[in-house]
Amino acid sequence: MLIRYKKTFEKIAMGLLSFMPTEKDLKKLQLTIKEYETDENLQLFLWKEEDIIGLIGVRMNDEGNSLEIQHVSVNPSHRNQGVGKRMVKSLKDMYPGKQITANENTAPFIEKCDIC
């Protein structure tokens, strides 16, 4: 299930975010987490099964009618088992009626999820 990020999840969230090709630099990673903590248009979610194994982060557009997926990441030990697609589906269920889009960093995977 998707759970909202909070500060106690910072380490695990940074670990998952670091799998994004754009988040390899530690300074960039710290800045990204800080933005999720402070910018009210950004929302970060973690995917919990028995453990926390995935992350998905979105930006709400100004009108609040669409969400752009900024980050999507799954623990390497749990890949290719549908976790990424389940996270996207749950996000869609959490925001019914909102359009879900990707940015250039997430589009290759999100386009496989049949939601855009």
Cα dist from 36 to 39, 68, 79, 94, whole Å:
6, 14, 24, 18
Is 28 or 85 the residue whose CB approaches ligand COA more closely?
85
Q: Which of 2, 19, 42, 52 binds ligand COA (CB under 6 A)?
A: 19
73 counts as binding ligand COA under rule CB under 6 A: yes
Q: How far apart are CA 37 and CA 27, in angstroms?
A: 15
Question: From the CB of 38, what's the least distance to ligand COA, in Å?
Answer: 23
CB 72 within 8 A of CB 56: yes
Pattern 89-108, binding to ligand COA, x per CB under 6 A? -----------------x-x
Identify the helix (H) or strand (E) that includes residue 32: helix 26-38
The residues that touch ligand COA, with contacts defined as CB under 6 A, are 19-21, 72-74, 79-85, 106, 108-109, 112
